[in-house]
Amino acid sequence: MNISPPHRLRLDGAALVANWRWLKQQGGNAACGAAVKADGYGLGAREVVARLAAAGCRDFFVATWAEAAALMPLPQGTALSVLHGVRPEDMAAAKSIAARPVLNSPEQVRRWRAAGGGACDVMIDTGINRLGIAPEDADVLDGLAIETLMSHLACADEDVPQNAAQRRALLAVAERVPHRRLSLANSAGLCLGPGYALDLTRPGLALYGGVPRPEAAGHIRQAAFPEAQVLQRRRVSAGGSVGYNATWTAAGDTEIAILNLGYADGILRGFSGTGRALADGRALPFLGRVSMDLIAVDATAAPALAEGDWVTIDYDLPIAAAASGLSQYELLTGLGDRFQRCWVN
């Protein structure tokens, strides 16, 4: 049966591609890749890869081999790197799937060699202390066929000396470790200046509408728009309360609309009393607590809004992050499976 769900995620393919083009331009002559882990930050990795590949993107990044397998076969002429490298239980997949591991430790390097080696990427830890081979252990890389030698910035969204220090540390390793391309910048790193782009960049967040640093504001377009149907319109009399724990009480008679989505869809309770929906450009503030599957909004500004009408949740990422206390990353990757993903453009 084809049941159309009461909420959907409208995805703007033109915004996605425009964001990639802007990021590519920031990187000058560097190739611009795309991080599509976590199912393309919640938008749908397969669709994202197809659209960016058509725009000219050649290098994609996922976290795990399960994510890599789900993207096969890749569009012609593109390559995929698996950021978490190879656990013992990944080796069969790593040898059969057309993707490269990003080797992250001496153990992973030994494992890859023992299985016959072949083209790989390597992560150098230059200070994030999360994944990566320490510069002093770089001797274990002797003789490896390294496609991309990379590192990852810990604080690229801040103006701190650590950014330049990490860049210097990567360049120092690059002098003694043969590689084809060098890569450092994520979305925020791309905003730090031309010296950070090197040969290949790896933006994620900003492709999907996140604004990682002030330099990107006004250039990055929102790409994901949660939309929900009105399930019911009602009037709350003065003194009446709305939702669990009665956290909002009507000062006067108030027209409200009940939306068919909630925290189970990723619109978390941090939006209670701070989020808003938009109906024909008019703001409808959330009232009371966000429930699992329902959200109440003030419908005063939309007198004609009725059962069955669709509204858009205000999900401009910097605004929604400030309203909810969540990061722009969490806002995207938390969007639930119940949303029907609908690409426009």
How many residues form the binding site for ligand PLP (CB under 6 A)?
Answer: 11
Determine the Cα–Cα distance for residues 181 and 197; give it in Å rounded to an integer: 11
| Interface residue with ligand PLP, options 42, 101, 127, 203 (CB under 6 A) | 203
User: Least distance (Å) from ligand PLP to the CB of residue 35?
Assistant: 4
For ligand PLP, which stretch binds (CB under 6 A), given 45-53, 169-177, 199-207, 289-297?
Answer: 199-207
Dihedral sign of CA atoms 24, 30, 35, 40 in order: positive
Known catalytic residue at 37: yes
For ligand PLP, which stretch binds (CB under 6 A), given 7-15, 185-193, 244-252, 299-307?
Answer: 185-193
| Interface residue with ligand PLP, options 202, 224, 258, 323 (CB under 6 A) | 202
User: Least distance (Å) from ligand PLP to the CB of residue 201?
Assistant: 9
User: Least distance (Å) from ligand PLP to the CB of residue 320?
Assistant: 16
Three-state DSSP class for 141? helix
Find out whether 91 is annotated in a ligand binding site: no
User: Least distance (Å) from ligand PLP to the CB of residue 327?
Assistant: 10
| Interface residue with ligand PLP, options 81, 104, 105, 187 (CB under 6 A) | 187
User: Least distance (Å) from ligand PLP to the CB of residue 175?
Assistant: 22
Marked catalytic residue, from 37, 41, 208, 329: 37
- Cβ atoms of residues 271 and 345 within 8 Å: no
Determine the Cα–Cα distance for residues 203 and 206; give it in Å rounded to an integer: 7
- Cβ atoms of residues 306 and 317 within 8 Å: no
Known catalytic residue at 208: no
Nearest CA-CA partner of 73 in 53, 92, 56: 53
- Cβ atoms of residues 67 and 49 within 8 Å: no
Angle between helices 45-55 and 13-26 (to 10 degrees): 60
For ligand PLP, which stretch binds (CB under 6 A), given 45-53, 183-191, 252-260, 306-314?
Answer: 183-191
| 100 lies in the binding site for ligand PLP (CB under 6 A) | no
- CB nearer to ligand PLP: give 146 or 205: 205
- Cβ atoms of residues 121 and 150 within 8 Å: yes
To which residue do tokens 């724990």 refer? 245
| 152 lies in the binding site for ligand PLP (CB under 6 A) | yes
For ligand PLP, which stretch binds (CB under 6 A), given 12-20, 66-74, 182-190, 272-280?
Answer: 182-190
Find out whether 130 is annotated in a ligand binding site: yes
| Interface residue with ligand PLP, options 122, 177, 182, 205 (CB under 6 A) | 205
Cβ partners under 8 Å of residue 93, min gap 6: 65, 68, 69
| 204 lies in the binding site for ligand PLP (CB under 6 A) | yes
- H/E element, 79: strand 79-82
Cβ partners under 8 Å of residue 296, min gap 6: 242, 243, 248, 256, 257, 258, 259, 286, 287, 288
User: Least distance (Å) from ligand PLP to the CB of residue 130?
Assistant: 9
Q: Could you tell me if residue 147 is left (phi over 0), alpha (psi between -120 and 50 degrees) or otherwise beta? A: alpha
Structure tokens at 112: 């890859």
- CB nearer to ligand PLP: give 5 or 195: 195
Estimate to the nearest angstrom the gap between the alpha carbon of 93 and the chain centroid: 25
| 35 lies in the binding site for ligand PLP (CB under 6 A) | yes
Determine the Cα–Cα distance for residues 8 and 18; give it in Å rounded to an integer: 22
| 186 lies in the binding site for ligand PLP (CB under 6 A) | yes
Catalog residues that contact ligand PLP under the rule CB under 6 A: 35, 37, 83, 152, 186-188, 202-205
| Binding residue positions for substrate | 130, 292
Catalytic residues: 37, 244
| Binding residue positions | 130, 292
